[in-house]
Amino acid sequence: MTGADPDPRVGVVVVAAGSGTRLGAAQPKALVRVGGRRILEHAVCGALAVRFVRQVVVVAPAAYVAELSADVPGWEGSPAPSPRPLHPAGVPDPPAPVLGEPGGRVRVVPGGAERTDSVRAGLAALGPDIDIVLIHDAARCLTPTSVYDRVIAAVAAGHEAVVPGLAVVDTMKVVDAEGTVIATPERSRVRAIQTPQGFSRAAITSAHASGLAATDDAGLAEENGRPVRVVDGDPLAFKVTTPDDLERAERLLRTPTLWVIGGLPGTGKTTLSRRLAAFEDATLVRVDSIEQALTTDLDLEHPGTTGYAIAYAVAADQLRLGRSVVADLVNPLPQTRVALRQIAEQAGAGICEIRLVCSDATEHRRRIEGRLADIPGYVLPDWRDVTERLFVAWPEARVIDTAGRTPEQVFRVLRDGP
């Protein structure tokens, strides 16, 4: 291989013309919304955010070309284009070529009956300056930029055909039409192939001109006798195919939320917090557990605000990872509430403040006097502690009354709204 091209001109064909039979939605798959935006928008914005990408050709179901073209070049919510490649000092960046719709890098064309037909339509719409072509399934709408980068780098380094692939965990078998096993490839040598698949323009043009058929574009290049190189794929480049996949994508796109579940002892915070954490797949941060560890392990008689400080730190780490947090704490003072809001804001997370109350004093007292500690060594507050406890008004919180409600009913009130 000779030296890599330092400034490749990359065009991405995003194929989105399938019907999405297995997803079973009322519309074609690429138009289905996930995380508030269409699958196609995620895919196009992902491609536009990649360095060296000059043009994106969307191959859409024929009936939707006009509607989607109206979105171009806006692609509302698309991130700012990635920085242009660096040029030697004093040499201005070349202007981005304007193709298709005025001012935009995105162009929409109608697809065909088979995926291969759609790819061919996309290739025909690429501008003349493009020398590296990426072909990408819109359905792989959460593909990270790093996958594109690896594919582009390998093509720019001289590999004519490059595909991202993942090692497989299951053993693979090749079977005949009756289902009899013909061969068992050695698992360590098998890769599950994803997109974007990258090609030199000459390689993909001649592969498609050959009129051969294959289920992916690299397959065409292979049949043409061209070597195909595999680079690392990414689990996030999974293809949205079934309703389960859509749910997975939805979960991945969800902004993390800090759920603050506050209120006096005996109002049902821990029960609700556990249920909510399981439902939201969130991390439970329970201040009682932290404080108990401080008093036993560190022999602190009064942990003061240390338990809260630890809870804040743990919650902040989780939120920054993109994980939602359910914070189970009394949260009696404005200072603690302000601190929690700051943590959510700094992590770019949402916040949901819930105050549990028990409006029936008899029931509340019965709960306080009837319960057993579930944290070893934890001394439960008695009724007097509860009634004398300072709890400053908390107007920002949504109040949920747990009196006369089962834990499941309380959870439903929280989930289904007031």
Which residues bind to ligand CTP, rule: CB under 6 A?
15-23, 29-30, 59, 111-115, 118, 137-139, 239, 241
Q: Report the distance separating Cα 30 and Cα 205, nearest Å.
A: 25
- Binding-site partner at residue 113 among ligand CTP, Mg ion, none, CB < 5 to 8 Å by type: ligand CTP
Least distance between ligand CTP and beta carbon 246 (Å): 12
Nearest CB to ligand CTP, comparing residues 241 and 306: 241
Closer residue to Mg ion, CB minimum distance, 64 or 308 = 64
Q: How far is the CB of 111 from Mg ion (least distance, A)?
A: 12
Mapping DSSP to helix (H, G, I), strand (E, B) and coil, where does residue 303 land? coil
Residue whose beta carbon is closest to ligand CTP: 18
Closest-by-Cβ residue to Mg ion is: 18
Minimum CB distance to ligand CTP smaller for 109 or for 272 = 109
Which CB sits closer to ligand CTP, 44 or 326?
Answer: 44
Q: Could you say which of Mg ion, ligand CTP, none residue 45 binds, taking C-beta under 5 to 8 angstroms by partner kind? A: none
Reduce the DSSP state of residue 75 to 3 states and report it. coil
Shorter beta-carbon distance to ligand CTP: residue 35 or 112: 112
Residue length of the chain: 418
Which string of x and - marks every residue 17-56 that binds Mg ion (by CB under 5 A)? Answer: -x--------------------------------------
Contact partners, residue 236, CB within 8 Å, separation at least 6? 142, 143, 144, 252
Find the shortest distance in angstroms from Cβ 18 to ligand CTP. 2
Of the listed pieces 15-23, 266-274, 324-332, 397-405, which binds Mg ion according to CB under 5 A? Answer: 15-23
> Choosing among ligand CTP, Mg ion, none, which partner's interface includes residue 91 (Cβ < 5 to 8 Å by kind)?
none
Q: Which range binds Mg ion by CB under 5 A, 11-19, 45-53, 116-124, 166-174?
A: 11-19
Nearer to ligand CTP, 217 or 328 (CB): 217
* Helix, strand, coil percentages for the chain (3-state, nearest 5): 35, 20, 45
Output the DSSP codes for 348-411: T-EEEEEEEE---HHHHHHHHHH---SSTTPPPP-HHHHHH------TTSEEEE-TT--HHHHH
Characterize 110-137 residue by residue with b for buried, 16 or more Cβ atoms within 10 angstroms of its Cβ, and e for exposed.
Answer: ebbeebbebbbbbbebbbeebbbbbbbb
Asked if residues 119 and 112 have their Cβ atoms less than 8 Å apart, the reply is no
Residue 78: closest CA among 108, 131, 37, 112: 37
d(CA 196, CA 133) in angstroms, rounded, equals 9
**55 vs 194, beta carbon nearer Mg ion:** 194
Which of ligand CTP, Mg ion, none is residue 30 near (CB under 5 to 8 Å by kind)?
ligand CTP
**Nearest Cα to 250, choosing from 14, 6, 23?**
23
C-alpha separations of 59 from 9, 147, 280, 307 in Å: 20, 21, 36, 55
Residue 22, contacted partner among ligand CTP, Mg ion, none, CB below 5-8 A by kind: ligand CTP
Q: How far is the CB of 238 from ligand CTP (least distance, A)?
A: 11
The amino acid at residue 294 is L
Residue 18 or 104: which CB sits closer to Mg ion? 18
Partner from Mg ion, ligand CTP, none binding residue 326, C-beta < 5-8 Å depending on class = none
Could you tell me the smallest distance in angstroms from the CB atom of residue 213 to ligand CTP? 13
233 interacts with, out of ligand CTP, Mg ion, none, CB within 5 to 8 A per kind: none
Residue 139 or 397 having the CB closest to ligand CTP = 139
Q: Which residues contact 177 (CB under 8 A, 6 or more apart)?
A: none
Compute and round to an integer the Cα radius of gyration of the chain: 28
CB of 50 to ligand CTP, least distance (A): 18
Which are the contacts of 89, defined by CB distance < 8 A and separation ≥ 6? none
In a 3-state reduction of DSSP, which class is residue 58? strand
Closest approach, Cβ 195 to Mg ion, in A, equals 13
Given the rule CB under 5 A, which residues bind Mg ion? Answer: 18
